[in-house]
Structure 1
Amino acid sequence: MTTETPQPRIMIAAHGLGKAFGTNRVLQGVSLDLAHGEVVAVIGPSGSGKSTFLRCLNHLETIDEGSVTIDGEPLATAGQDGRSHYVPEREVRRICRKMGMVFQSFNLFPHMTVLQNLIEAPMTVKGLAREAAVAKAEALLDKVGLLAKRDSYPGRLSGGQKQRVAIARALAMEPQIMLFDEPTSALDPELTGEVLRTMRALAQERMTMLVVTHEMGFAREVANRVVFMDQGQLIEQAPAAQFFATPQHPRTQAFLQQML
């Protein structure tokens, strides 16, 4: 008697995403599924729609066409009129809390200490008591190697330290999925490593992660799967080792020749 392999839990299901800014179509029929515990790296040239794709997944931008489902819950559905229709705003906010996002520009509150940056959202959005929020924040700062900076202001931190605080702040909301938008692109090379080490540790803990990155080494070593985007389209995707060893599409091949 054969036993069926259990189907993976799909955390993000994006199908046929279309997005335009005026006459500029930045996403054209982009589809991607992200399974629980999977790390997917999204690579491609500047202006290929990678960041817009990420922002559409957590409703920082709205899609024009297609559907997005987060952990089995529809965020936007494709209507018979060809347009995307979102669930009510309250549901949008609740569903999007399943995702944490880390931006390339840190986005920390400069007038708050590191600790205050971490406890603000859990207290105001989730209603967590201050004592519990502080304990969680201190544990996360310890995890990213920055507990000693708990009372510092962001202006006194290096870029790499700011980005690790930003990761800890996103984790403080206990997301099921982490989205990273070029998290090291604003950093000097020597500071990039400390951020990538933090992300590697998350991957080892089986955090579900979708990472837009230009760090080919990280994509090769850490990602389960690599996706290549160009001109608003998803051109190719494959397991990381296969993607870098035998890219199939000419545009992928040309891009990797430039980058590697």
Structure 2
Amino acid sequence: MPSTTNERACAAAASQPMIEARGIHKTFGRVPVLRNVSLTVGQGEVVALIGPSGSGKSTFLRCLNHLETIDRGFIAIEGEALAQTDAAGNCTYVSEAEVRRICRKTGMVFQHFNLFPHLTVLENLIEAPMVVRGMARDEAIARAEVLLDKVGLRAKRDNYPARLSGGQKQRVAIARALAMEPDIMLFDEPTSALDPELTGEVLRTMRALAQERMTMLVVTHEMGFAREVAHTVAFMDQGELLETRPAAEFFGSPGHERSRAFLNHML
């Protein structure tokens, strides 16, 4: 029996990449940081982006939500072009209003929390939904309390960030990103600034998000997380994405010599 229009539309939506990056080039001055990087992330997929420090992982992540601009290439978020390059090599972005709208589909968690120190935990969560999305205060508070329950910090709602541990601050940062109801979560080394004993509580929160089928792109040095939670591992070195494979295959038998050397050092 032929598919109905709705069925075809649903199938197309299911196959539509959440993130599509093709041929990304980026330089700082004369120093090439990203060299022809291409990566596709599907709906509900968890991709671990790994590699040595300085390999361009964080820069690539920042390019996906316009914290950095690219010199050349193509970026689309949920099928909507953010940046594209013409035949003459000129890279152009959509209008500023469209950039803001498209980038709201992504939430980002940084290494160093970036919480507002003068606001309580609850106020950190409700600020952006109220200011950016125009959400009513009561609705924003109700949403924030649900998210604080999710990350296990409801009891800290009235505390200021200075009274939280590093792990608690990072979980608040995750909740704050989720408060904007993104479809995609980007994590830039979310545990690198934490003491080892605090890393586990943040990774547990991220595992729970993965189980809820949140689309996630995670720059990380936590190989246990990459092996156990990620569907796909993408390995970068010296600005190039050298290998993208299912996590089990990557850790079982990495295909590139640089990947093998990296794993031998990390495991």
Name 1:232's counterpart in structure 2: 239
Name 2:177's counterpart in structure 1: 170
Q: Which amino acid in 2 is paired with 1:60? A: L
State the alpha-carbon separation in 2 of the partners of residues 78 and 234 from structure 1.
Answer: 20
Q: Which amino acid in 2 is paired with 1:36? A: Q
Q: Please give the secondary structure, in 2, of the residue aligned with 1:16.
A: strand
Superposed CA offset, 1:97-130 (max 9, x none):
0000000000000000000000000000000000
The alignment yields a C-alpha RMSD, in angstroms, of: 1.5
> Could you tell me how far 1:143 is from its partner in structure 2?
0.6
Name 2:261's counterpart in structure 1: 254
> Could you tell me how far 1:81 is from its partner in structure 2?
2.0
Q: Which amino acid in 1 is paired with 2:103? A: C
Q: Please give the secondary structure, in 2, of the residue aligned with 1:69.
A: strand
> Could you tell me how far 1:83 is from its partner in structure 2?
2.6
State the alpha-carbon separation in 2 of the partners of residues 63 and 173 from structure 1.
Answer: 25
State the alpha-carbon separation in 2 of the partners of residues 55 and 252 from structure 1.
Answer: 23
State the alpha-carbon separation in 2 of the partners of residues 76 and 237 from structure 1.
Answer: 23
**Where does structure 2 lack aligned partners over 5 or more consecutive residues?**
none
User: Residue 20 of structure 1: which of 17, 27, 50 is its match?
Assistant: 27
Whether the 8 Å contact between 1:66 and 1:83 is mirrored in structure 2 is no
State the alpha-carbon separation in 2 of the partners of residues 9 and 164 from structure 1.
Answer: 30
Runs of 4+, deviation exceeding 6 Å: 1-4
State the alpha-carbon separation in 2 of the partners of residues 149 and 243 from structure 1.
Answer: 40
Q: Please give the secondary structure, in 2, of the residue aligned with 1:90.
A: helix
Q: Which amino acid in 2 is paired with 1:140? A: L
1:45-84 → structure 2 map (5 Å cutoff): 45-84=52-91
User: Residue 243 of structure 1: which of 240, 250, 255 is its match?
Assistant: 250
State the alpha-carbon separation in 1 of the partners of residues 183 and 88 from structure 2.
Answer: 32
Residue 42, structure 1, aligned to residue 49, structure 2:
yes
Name 1:104's counterpart in structure 2: 111
1:119-158 → structure 2 map (5 Å cutoff): 119-158=126-165
Name 1:30's counterpart in structure 2: 37
User: Residue 216 of structure 1: which of 223, 231, 237 is its match?
Assistant: 223
Q: Please give the secondary structure, in 1, of the residue aligned with 2:15.
A: coil
> Could you tell me how far 1:141 is from its partner in structure 2?
0.3
Q: Please give the secondary structure, in 1, of the residue aligned with 2:18.
A: strand
Name 2:204's counterpart in structure 1: 197
Instruction: Give TM-score, length-normalised by structure 2.
Output: 0.95
Q: Please give the secondary structure, in 2, of the residue aligned with 1:248.
A: coil
> Could you tell me how far 1:40 is from its partner in structure 2?
0.2
State the alpha-carbon separation in 1 of the partners of residues 199 and 102 from structure 2.
Answer: 31
Superposed CA offset, 1:197-225 (max 9, x none):
00000000000000000000000000000
Q: Which amino acid in 2 is paired with 1:175? A: P
How many residues were matched structurally?
260
Name whichever of 114-123 and 77-86 sits farther off. Answer: 77-86
